Amino acid sequence: MKKFTVGVVGLGYWGPNLLRNFLKSDGFEVVWGCDLVDENLQKVEKDFPTVKLTKDLNDLLQDAKLDVVVIATPPATHFALGQKALAAGKHLWVEKPFTTSSKEASELLRIAKEKNLALHVDLPFIFHGPVRKIKELIDSGKIGKVYYYNSIRTNLGLVQTGADVVWDLAPHDLSILFHLFPDAGVKQVHIHSSSHLPNTKVAQIGSLYLELDNGVAAYIHLSWLSPVKMRLITIGGQKRMILFDDVEPTEKVKVYDKNITIKKDEITPFKPVYRTGDVWIPTVDQTEALYTQIEYFSGQLTAGTFDYEIASIALKILNVLENKKERT
């Protein structure tokens, strides 16, 4: 099987994880690493001695044997770097958020389609075993009609300057939401965010409310200023409810056989009936989501046909993030 050659641009926080997983895959060979910071280059040189290192992106773009450019730099640079990679005829992998505007993302998608080049945006939760299990449960009808999606995603940091907490963390939940309900449109969006640290206007706390046209209401709370790390999602359905705790090491998904029925008769017009059954803990795939995603990308490249499904979800996410109704 042909191995596709990869160059990773941006070797800071997430770059080493990308290097590790691309190197682990049988479908790829990591040739280049690129970064402007000496400390990052030195760390990669120590941990990944087979990778050639450079500060000059042109070294990657002018390498005729390089197939894929992976961009893991600050979001504001994604469009310019992605445009250069596609112009050089390279397949493109971009970290989330896709770009800093839907206009830029649409242009990259247009160029990729025109040149028949792969364009993938790193949305790892779409490939996360627990999320795939949740989608299986919803699609099977075991949950019944879904009423709501409620998420809490908090930690102490990582506070950034290139993107606020909404642009940094909301793409995770929005990617899950659009993966679970791929045919649903967004009827309305409300976003609130606020900054509480001195000397910065970048928001550290935020919340989103989305109403989908299939009737699902989504509530998403985000924070960089929490004393505890929480990755908690509750999904309520007509028949059952799902709890997804991504901090839990083993039993990440629990299905609760609980619901409420409102009964009405002549004597009691409003009578809630609460039903409680068993709690079911399904088995989920434990494979690292980033590795699963890289294997998916390898399959697309090997087939030579690109559906741009994940990039289209990333564009849909940007459309939501740009629809900021309120901000404090």
Domains of the chain: 4-122+289-320 (3.40.50.720), 126-286 (3.30.360.10)
Rounded to an integer, what distance in angstroms lies between the CA atom of residue 5 and that of residue 15? 16
Specify the residue for token string 């206009």.
103
The tokens describing 77, both together, are: 């640079």
Indicate if the alpha-carbon torsion angle 321, 215, 293, 116 is positive or negative. negative
191 close to 322: Cβ distance less than 8 angstroms? no
Rounded to an integer, what distance in angstroms lies between the CA atom of residue 278 and that of residue 311? 39
Chain centroid offset of residue 31 CA: 26
Rounded to an integer, what distance in angstroms lies between the CA atom of residue 79 and that of residue 94? 9
| The pLDDT of residue 200 | 86
Burial class (CB in 10 A: 0-12, 13-18, 19+), 258: middle
Burial class (CB in 10 A: 0-12, 13-18, 19+), 196: exposed
- The pTM (predicted TM-score) of the whole model is 0.90
Which residues pair with residue 120 across a beta bridge? 93
Tens-level pLDDT at each residue, the chain (328 residues): 789 999 999 999 899 999 999 999 999 999 999 999 999 999 999 999 999 999 999 999 999 999 999 999 999 999 999 999 999 999 999 999 999 999 999 999 999 999 999 999 999 999 999 999 999 999 999 999 999 999 999 999 888 877 899 999 999 999 999 999 999 999 999 999 999 998 888 999 999 999 999 999 999 999 999 999 999 999 999 999 999 999 999 999 999 997 777 677 666 667 676 667 789 999 999 999 999 999 999 999 999 999 999 999 999 999 999 985 444 3
| The pLDDT of residue 267 | 65
Burial class (CB in 10 A: 0-12, 13-18, 19+), 260: exposed
| The pLDDT of residue 323 | 80
Each residue of 283-297: b (16+ CB within 10 Å) or e?
A: ebeeebbbbbbbbeb
Closest residue by Cα to residue 93 from 17, 182, 169, 162: 17
